[in-house]
Structure 1
Amino acid sequence: MPISSDIWTLLQSSGRIPSILSNQLIMKKILVLHGPNLNRLGLREPEVYGCVTLEELNKELIQEAKVAGFMLTSEQSNSEAELITLIHEAAEKGIDYIIINPAAFTHTSIALRDALLAVKLPFIEVHISNIYAREPFRQHSYFSDIAAGVISGLGIKGYSLALQAIINELNH
């Protein structure tokens, strides 16, 4: 059974675990970042974003990751600065992959783009709605060209599809 990298490091430094053991025993870490207004998921424009709440979505993703032997954490912020800080901290915490729904920042935030480039962590960009079928100002993304993948318009299922892609990639 995989263990977290923090526990692994502690055990290795104590001399209880030989350093030659496979790194596959270390649980891979995935961070899900939800951008502005996603705290209103399930309430805001349910005809566009659905009726599932952010809490329900996060619980589902955490369980799906756990079953596959991965550790998933999620964060939501309406603040560009806070999201940038979370991205910077992800690199320091040994996060292996990010799933990000930048929401409205998709179309405006060069700063978030720069943060993702700076940490050099792979990420998948997810959008609940099809941004390319919406208003013209929503059809440009500052992230798509640097993302490992983009999922747009498949509802909240897009998060699960991103997670499955990451699990497959990190397991091979």
Structure 2
Amino acid sequence: MSTIMVLNGPNLNLLGTREPATYGYETLADVEVMCREAALSLGHEVECHQSNHEGVLIDLIHEAGRRIKAGEVLGVVFNPGAYTHTSVALHDAIKGAEVPVIEVHISNVHAREAFRHHSYISPAAAGIVVGMGVQGYVLGIQGLVHKLKA
């Protein structure tokens, strides 16, 4: 049974209390339970990580790349939060480590402020789920598994 890594970037530890009109009332713990259930239904395990620090996320992506090559990890479902719009380093980490990533955003970033419309992650991602609420994580897991079986 291979593992799917679910990575969450800055401020996602505040899910459930931060701007619930935008992000909903589900907590990060709720999201992690949903992810584990979704992955298990597809024959996989989930390993969840959240960090407010770009370097930690880069290290986790590098680790995912090593573990993919070792056959331990299938890929990554990644909500980079605000780093989406600022981090060339995360883009380069994904490309450099050759990690299949599904980029997930809870809100529809394209219907929000103009600065949220550009993603440095999207060009490196295998797929993107945007605006589906926390259900987007489940869709991301399903999409990752489907894409890598194809």
TM-score by length of 1: 0.81
1:50 aligns with 2:24: yes
> Which residue identity is paired with 1:35?
G
SS of the aligned residue for 2:61 comes to helix
Q: How many residues are paired up?
A: 146
1:139 aligns with 2:117: yes
The 5 A counterparts of 1:50-129 are 50-94=24-68, 95-129=73-107
For the Cα contact (< 8 Å) 2:5–2:48, is it kept in 1? yes
Please identify the structure whose Cα radius of gyration is greater.
Answer: 1
Question: What percent identity do the matched residue pairs reach?
Answer: 47
- Deviations along 1:113-163, one digit per CA (max 9) or x if unpaired, are 111011101111110011111111111100112211111111111111111
SS of the aligned residue for 2:119 comes to coil
1:33 aligns with 2:7: yes
Task: State how far apart, in whole Å, the 1-side matches of 2:97 and 2:4 are.
Answer: 14
For structure 2, which runs of at least 5 residues remain unmatched after alignment?
Answer: none
RMSD: 1.1
Task: State how far apart, in whole Å, the 2-side matches of 1:168 and 1:149 are.
Answer: 11
> Which residue identity is paired with 1:153?
G
SS of the aligned residue for 1:151 comes to strand
For structure 1, which runs of at least 5 residues remain unmatched after alignment?
Answer: 1-26
SS of the aligned residue for 1:93 comes to helix
- Deviations along 1:45-91, one digit per CA (max 9) or x if unpaired, are 00000000000110111122112210111100000010001111112
